[in-house]
């Protein structure tokens, strides 16, 4: 129980860092320097006004100096990240598997935010995340989709699963994107989406990445069509934030992947 509470607090801090990344990586700024300041008046934010969630509540969502509104995005990202960390540790204990689940969730939360706000999926999240996923696969082997011939140890097999997961679904998506461009003469899929699937595959392996693609594209197509219809947007020009759907799909695959695939293949859970 104490581990879950500590994971929640640690998740708040990571969520606060995700906020900095979301803000600065969409503007090509460094996340290391300078210290955070109010975007409206430029005043440096004191440490006591930078406590995750709590400061936002105490300041009632306004800058202490100029009273400019602070986006509710900040406490929302902090809370969601904290909940992901707490839930990962609650479910898996203090383990590498929990670390994998928590970090993937935090990266997806960041990418959902940048895609919603700016229609951007920064490389530092996607390519950086792919590297983190592969390192984690070396430390804590993934369960392979198939018993890959020639790799007898679980460690090698898990690494192959992560590498194939990073390479194959993203390659398939890239080829589909090219074909779409040939046929429709406009960009259907961004390179950011392709890199995001590679990141998911590095964390979840081939099975997880394929599941993410299926859930993300089905959800994106369905909700996209409904949104275009309700909001009376033009289907020819409206750009669906596909990264948002991939992010939600990756989190779903990470948390519920095994029951979902077992149900799909007709295997009892």
**Min separation Cβ 42 and Zn ion, Å:** 7
Residue 16, both tokens: 């606060």
Query: What are the residues whose beta carbons fall under 8 Å from the beta carbon of 87, sequence distance 6 or more?
Result: none
3-class state of residue 149 by DSSP: coil
Residues 166-180: b if buried by 16+ CB within 10 A, e if exposed: bbbbbeebbeebeee
65, 73, 155, 233: residue in contact with Zn ion (rule CB under 5 A): 65
Examine residue 66 and tell whether it contacts Zn ion (CB under 5 A): yes
**Min separation Cβ 46 and Zn ion, Å:** 12
Residue (41 or 94) nearer to Zn ion, CB? 41
**Min separation Cβ 62 and Zn ion, Å:** 8
Residue (63 or 194) nearer to Zn ion, CB? 63
**Min separation Cβ 265 and Zn ion, Å:** 55
What x-and-dash track marks residues 15-54 binding Zn ion by CB under 5 A? -----------------------x-xx-------------
Of the ranges 67-75, 81-89, 119-127, 256-264, which one interacts with Zn ion (CB under 5 A)?
Answer: 67-75
Contact 4, 86 (CB under 8 A): yes
**Min separation Cβ 70 and Zn ion, Å:** 9
Number of residues interacting with Zn ion: please give it, by CB under 5 A.
Answer: 7
Residue (68 or 221) nearer to Zn ion, CB? 68
The whole-angstrom separation of Cα 235 and Cα 256 is 32
Q: Considering Cα of 250, then 254, then 260, then 265, what sign does the dihedral take?
A: positive
Contact 52, 80 (CB under 8 A): no
Residue (36 or 261) nearer to Zn ion, CB? 36
The whole-angstrom separation of Cα 115 and Cα 25 is 12
Residue (70 or 113) nearer to Zn ion, CB? 70
63, 99, 164, 210: residue in contact with Zn ion (rule CB under 5 A): 63
**Min separation Cβ 72 and Zn ion, Å:** 16
Residue (41 or 171) nearer to Zn ion, CB? 41
Work out the number of other CB atoms within 10 angstroms of the CB of residue 245.
24
Burial tier of 85 (Cβ tally within 10 Å: 0-12, 13-18, 19+): buried
Choose among 158, 165, 159: nearest CA to 200. 165
The residues of the shown chain that bind Zn ion, judged by CB under 5 A, are 38, 40-41, 63, 65-66, 68
């Amino acid at each position: 129980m104490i581990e879950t509470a500590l994971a929640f607090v640690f998740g708040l801090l990571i969520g606060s860092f995700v906020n900095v990344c979301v803000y600065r990586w969409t503007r090509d700024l460094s996340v290391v320097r300078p210290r955070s300041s109010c975007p409206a008046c430029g005043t440096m934010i004191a440490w006591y006004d930078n406590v995750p969630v709590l400061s936002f509540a105490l300041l009632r969502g306004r800058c202490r100096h100029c009273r400019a509104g602070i986006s509710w995005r900040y406490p929302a990202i902090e809370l969601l990240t904290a909940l992901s960390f707490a839930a990962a540790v609650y479910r898996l204990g203090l383990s590498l598997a929990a670390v994998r689940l928590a970090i993937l969730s935090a990266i997806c939360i960041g990418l959902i935010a940048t895609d919603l706000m700016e229609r951007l999926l920064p490389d530092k999240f996607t390519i950086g995340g792919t590297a983190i996923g592969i390192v984690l696969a070396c430390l804590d082997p993934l369960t392979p989709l198939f018993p890959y011939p020639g790799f007898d140890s679980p460690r090698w097999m898990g690494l192959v699963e992560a590498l194939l997961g990073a390479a194959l679904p993203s390659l398939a998506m890239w080829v589909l994107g090219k074909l779409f461009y040939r046929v429709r003469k406009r960009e259907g899929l961004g390179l950011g989406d392709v890199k995001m699937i590679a990141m998911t595959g590095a964390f979840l392996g081939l099975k997880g990445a394929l599941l993410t693609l299926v859930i993300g594209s089905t959800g994106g197509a369905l909700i996209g069509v409904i949104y275009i219809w309700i909001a009376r947007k033009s289907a020819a020009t409206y750009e669906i934030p596909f990264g948002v759907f991939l992010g939600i799909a990756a989190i779903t695959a990470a948390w519920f992947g095994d029951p979902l695939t077992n149900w799909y293949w007709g295997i009892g859970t």
